[in-house]
Amino acid sequence: MQYVSTRNKEQKCSAAQAIAQGLATDGGLLIPEVLPKLAPNGLKTMADMSYQQRAVYVMGSFLDDFTASELSMFASRAYGKGKFDTKEVAPVREVDGNTYCLELWHGPTCAFKDMALQMLPHLLSAALVKNEERKTVCILVATSGDTGKAALEGFKDVDKTRILVFYPKDGVSDIQKLQMQTQEGDNVGVCAVVGNFDDAQTGVKALFSDEELRETLAGRGFFFSSANSINWGRVLPQVVYYISAYCDLLKMGKIQKGDPINICVPTGNFGNILSAYYAKQMGVPVHKLICASNRNNVLTDFIKTGVYDRERPFYHTTSPSMDILISSNLERLLFEFTERDDEAVKRYMDQLASEGRYEVSEKVKKQLDNQFAAGYCDDQGAAETIGEMWRAQKYLIDPHTAVAFHVLKEYRAETGDQTPTVVVSTASPFKFCDSVLHALGVEELAEGTDRIGQLSELTGVPAPAPLSGLAGKEIRFTDVTEKDKMRDRVLEMLK
Ligand SMILES: *Cc1c(COP(=O)(O)O)cnc(C)c1O
C-alpha cells in the first residue's frame, strides 16, 4: 500500500518510508492511499483475540511491507509483560449503564502516549532496515510533558536510535520533570530549556531545518526524525484501541454486532480522536465522535462553525496536554472531508499560516456536523467533574479525562442522545496529583512526590508503580540550556 501527502496526492511512498520520514517532503501529512476496511466478520473474529493479536490484525492491513511475524514480535515487545500493568493493555471499564471508560494509561509513563510510543520505535527501526538506511536515527522532541517521557521510554536502548528531549525548564509539572530527569538507557539525552514550551518547540524546529547541522551530523552517521503525532506510526497504533474497545463491549455482551456507539475524546493535537475516525472508516459502527476541549476551545468553535481561528488568547489550564491552538492532525481529517482534494487542503493550511484562520466549504461543514459533536470545559468544570465522579462512582480520573466526562454530560443534556458512549481516559490521575487533590477538597498538599502517596492514602487507590517508584530513582539529567544554545547541546550529545 502506498502513502500519499495531504497536500499532493501524486507524492507517494511506502509505509516504511512514511514512518521513517514522519512528514511528507512538501510539508503535508502522509495518509494511506486507500483506507482498508475490516472484513465483515472482523470485529467478531477480533473479539476473541488478545490485545497484541488485535494490534497485528489491524496494523497488518495498513503496513503491507511489514510481515505478520514482524508485527507480532513488535506487539509482544510493546504491549507485553513488564510494559503494561494489566494484561488487557487498554481495559474498558463500565462507569454506568451506557457509559464506558477506555483506560489508556496502563503503560510505563501512565499517559495514553505510551500506546503509540511503545510501538513506534519498533516500526521505525524495522523501517530503517527496509529502507537500507545506514545512519543512526536521532529523534528530537520538544515536549510539554507527556510526549517526552513516553518517547524516552519507548526509544530507550532501541538499536540504531538516539533520542534527545528538550523541555521548558519551568513549564512541566514536578512529577513530569522527575520522570524525565531519572530516565534510564544509554541512547537518551534530556535537557531543560530556559523559556516556555514555544521556545523549546521553536528551537527544535530550527534544528530540523538547519542544513549545516544536518550535514555535520550526517558526517558523524546521524539523521533526524520526529516522534510526534504527525508521524503515521503514531496514529496507526491508536486506531487499534478503538477497535479493541468495540470488541470488548461485544465480548462483555454490552452491545450486539452492528450496534452504534459514541466515542468522546479529550483532544489537543487531534491525533487521538483522528484515530477514532479511522476506526469508524474501517467499519466500527460509530454514531458521533465527541471532541472535548479545555478552555483552549479552538476545535469546539471549528466543529460548530467551520471556521478555524487560532488568533485568540492562549490559556494554561489544569489539562496542560490539551493546551494547544494549532491541531496539526486536523489536516488529515480535512483531506478526507474534502474527498481528498489536496489543493483545497493546501489552501486551508496556507491561509492558516498567513492569516491565522480559514473557513471550510459547506460540504465539509456538513460532514463535520454529521459525524462530530464538540464541547469544552474550563478548569472549574473539570475539578467539579473529578469530585462528582469520585463521590458517585468511587472512580478517580485525571483532569484531561474529566474534561471529556463533562463535555459528554452536556452533550447528552442538549441532545438527549443515549447511545452507549466510550469516554477515553488519557492519563493516570496520579500524574496530576495537585489538581486532583484540590478537586477532592484537599487544601494542604504534601511536598513534591509525596503527593502521590497523599492521593493514594486519601482515596485508597494504589498509585501506578512507575510513579510511586520515582522518589527513589537516581537523577541523571540536570542540564539546562539557553534557547539559543540548543544546537551546541545537540552537537555535544551526538558525538
Ligand atoms: C497528548 C494528550 C492529550 C491530547 O491528545 P491529542 O492526540 O493531542 O489530541 C490528552 N490527554 C493527555 C493526558 C495527553 O497526554
| pLDDT of 102 above 80 | yes
Average pLDDT over residues 265-280: 96
Cα of 446 vs centre of ligand 1, distance in Å, is 27
Nearest to 42 by CA among 379, 285, 213: 285
**Of 113, 149, 288, 365, which is the active-site residue?**
113
Q: Which atom of ligand 1 is least distant from the CA of 145?
A: 15
CA distance linking residue 357 with residue 353, whole number of Å? 8
Ligand 1 site-directed mutation target among 173, 272, 299, most atoms within 8 Å of CB: 272
Average pLDDT over residues 20-33: 88
Average pLDDT over residues 337-345: 97
Percentage, residues of the chain above pLDDT 70 = 100
Q: Would you say the CB of residue 429 lies under 6 angstroms from ligand 1?
A: no
Q: Would you say the CB of residue 267 lies under 6 angstroms from ligand 1?
A: yes
| pLDDT of 311 above 80 | yes
The whole-number pLDDT of residue 441 equals: 97
The whole-number pLDDT of residue 448 equals: 85
Cα 417 to Cα 147, 248, 259, 407, 410: the distances in Å are 34, 22, 14, 13, 11
Q: How confident is the model at residue 240 (pLDDT cuts 50, 70, 90)?
A: very high
3-state secondary structure the chain: CEEEECCEEEEEEEHHHHHHHCCCCCCCCEEECCCCCCCCCHHHHHHCCCHHHHHHHHHHCCCCCCCHHHHHHHHHHHHCECCECCCCCCCEEEEECCEEEEECCCCCCCECHHHHHCCHHHHHHHHHHHCCCCCEEEEEEECCCHHHHHHHHHHCCCCCEEEEEEEECCCCCHHHHHHHHCCCCCCEEEEEECCCHHHHHHHHHHHHCCHHHHHHHHHCCEEEECCCCCCHHHHHHHHHHHHHHHHHHHHCCCCCCCCCEEEEEECCCCHHHHHHHHHHHHCCCEEEEEEEECCCCHHHHHHHHCEEECCCCCCCCCCHHHCCCCCCCHHHHHHHHCCCCHHHHHHHHHHHHHHCEEECCHHHHHHHHHHEEEEECCHHHHHHHHHHHHHHHCCCCCHHHHHHHHHHHHHHHHHCCCCCEEEEECECHHHHHHHHHHHCCCCCCCCCCHHHHHHHHHHCCCCCHHHHCHHHCCCCCCCEECHHHHHHHHHHHCC
| pLDDT of 145 above 80 | no
Q: Which atom of ligand 1 is least distant from the CA of 271?
A: 7
Q: How confident is the model at residue 351 (pLDDT cuts 50, 70, 90)?
A: very high
- Pick the residue whose CA is nearest to atom 4 on ligand 1: 268
Q: Would you say the CB of residue 111 lies under 6 angstroms from ligand 1?
A: yes
Q: Provide the 10 A C-beta neighbour count for residue 413.
A: 8
Q: Which CATH class is domain 87-112+233-431?
A: alpha beta
For residues 337 and 345, the answer to whether their CB atoms sit within 8 Å is: no
Q: How confident is the model at residue 495 (pLDDT cuts 50, 70, 90)?
A: confident
- Amino acid found at 157: D
Cα of 265 vs centre of ligand 1, distance in Å, is 9
The whole-number pLDDT of residue 327 equals: 87
The whole-number pLDDT of residue 105 equals: 97
Q: How confident is the model at residue 200 (pLDDT cuts 50, 70, 90)?
A: confident
| pLDDT of 144 above 90 | no
CA distance linking residue 487 with residue 134, whole number of Å? 23
| pLDDT of 198 above 80 | no
Q: Would you say the CB of residue 327 lies under 6 angstroms from ligand 1?
A: no
The 10s digit of each residue's pLDDT in 434-446 is 999 999 999 999 9
For residues 337 and 279, the answer to whether their CB atoms sit within 8 Å is: no
Ligand 1 site-directed mutation target among 143, 153, 426, 431, most atoms within 8 Å of CB: 426
Cα of 257 vs centre of ligand 1, distance in Å, is 30
CA 423 to chain centre: 15
The whole-number pLDDT of residue 172 equals: 84
The whole-number pLDDT of residue 325 equals: 86
Cα 135 to Cα 61, 180, 196: the distances in Å are 29, 26, 32
The 10s digit of each residue's pLDDT in 445-470 is 998 889 999 999 999 999 999 999 99
C-alpha cell of 291?
471532541
Q: Would you say the CB of residue 145 lies under 6 angstroms from ligand 1?
A: no
Give catalytic status of residue 130 as yes or no: no
* Domain spans, the chain: 87-112+233-431
Q: Would you say the CB of residue 268 lies under 6 angstroms from ligand 1?
A: yes
Q: Which atom of ligand 1 is least distant from the CA of 400?
A: 11
Mean pLDDT of the chain: 94
The whole-number pLDDT of residue 420 equals: 98
Q: Would you say the CB of residue 454 lies under 6 angstroms from ligand 1?
A: no
Q: How confident is the model at residue 205 (pLDDT cuts 50, 70, 90)?
A: confident
Average pLDDT over residues 367-371: 98
The whole-number pLDDT of residue 196 equals: 80
Nearest to 112 by CA among 319, 407, 392: 319
Cα of 213 vs centre of ligand 1, distance in Å, is 31
Q: Would you say the CB of residue 322 lies under 6 angstroms from ligand 1?
A: yes
Percentage, residues of the chain above pLDDT 90 = 84
The 10s digit of each residue's pLDDT in 408-425 is 999 999 999 999 999 999
The whole-number pLDDT of residue 399 equals: 97
| pLDDT of 203 above 90 | no
